[in-house]
Structure 1
Amino acid sequence: MRITVTGGAGFIGSHLVDRLIEDGHTVQVIDNLYTGNKEFVHSKAQFVELDIRDPKLYSVLEEFRPDYIFHEAAQTEVSTSMSDPMLDCDINLIGLINLLNAAVKLDVKKFLMPSSAAVYGNLDTLPLNEEMIGNPSSFYGLTKLTTEHYLRIYHEAFGLPYICYRYSNVFGPRQGNGGEGGVISIFAKAIVQGSPIIIYGDGK
């Protein structure tokens, strides 16, 4: 199959690309390299340096003609969303709509993308599950929750099949130390190096 992966030069996206190519698919990577690393991109992938908000996105996709789109490109920093909510909205919603419109026109078989556990906000009930109604406490969480509704309505209005899944604290090789998910890599690095682990507050 022909598969486009946006954000395919990033931490999660690059691993996805590796697996898709390993499974025999033809893969196109679209990434603006703002946080991605071109060295992470599989040598057999067709790489295009492009922002998902760019008007040229449709023509790039039209030339490749993907069967499926994995949309991994996003503004993912909660702190950035709070300091610059317009940027967060522009990337996570306007960029998404640009991609969804192209997917509908090209009649892709399925559109797959992550949401985030940030959609829940600070709910007191644990464990969290997919049936719970989110109350985001950040603009990042809000754009991700809004993303889920855009996908639902694009499916209902235009027949675009989709899968949306909520990531929570993904970690592994190629992960950076920034953001909330970076906590895990910081702890892992300290353990490997035998360094003391500093915990602020009471540890809860």
Structure 2
Amino acid sequence: MDNDALLALLQADGDIVTERLDHWARTRADRVFLHYGEDRITHTYAEFGRISDHIAGNLAAHGIAKGDRVSVLTTNSYIAALLMFGIWKAGAVYCPVNFGFTGRLLAYQLNDTAPSLLVTDARLLPAVNDVVDQLQAPPPLVVYAPPRTPMTTSPTSRNSIHVCALRVPGRTGGDGHRVAQPLAAHRGCRGAR
């Protein structure tokens, strides 16, 4: 297959990965799209499509528009995948942040990316607090806390980062634990619906 034929095939199938997800969510709705073995979470194409649509809507409610950069600082690859597709569906740019970075390296990456929003895990919030004074334009911050995980750290009072929690309502997984469904902004959060 030559490059022109490959390009024609790709364009026929849809140029963007989110278009393909939406296609398969319509045509193979109940087929498994993602299985996250660590927490025994499985999503069909339709479920994952709905979740990523919900995330995209929440991002829009936070003022995220096409071309905006959204940095994601998480150790959870499942949450990173959900956010990546939601960010893409919102037309924004997914900017993963190396969760091993702290101090100057973390500040450099955030300053270099200049995100319109930073999403992080509650347990990584201390690393963000440590560099907030080094950030040229501290972005609004959304903190993800899994169900039944108390927020033990809050942003330092000297920063200008806005914080709200993302809660994950859900259904019961195969092991009886609550599992992630749509990420929904907490009602007290700016822009939440």
State the TM-score, normalized to the length of structure 1. 0.41
Higher strand share goes to which structure? 2
Tell me the TM-score normalised to structure 2 length: 0.43
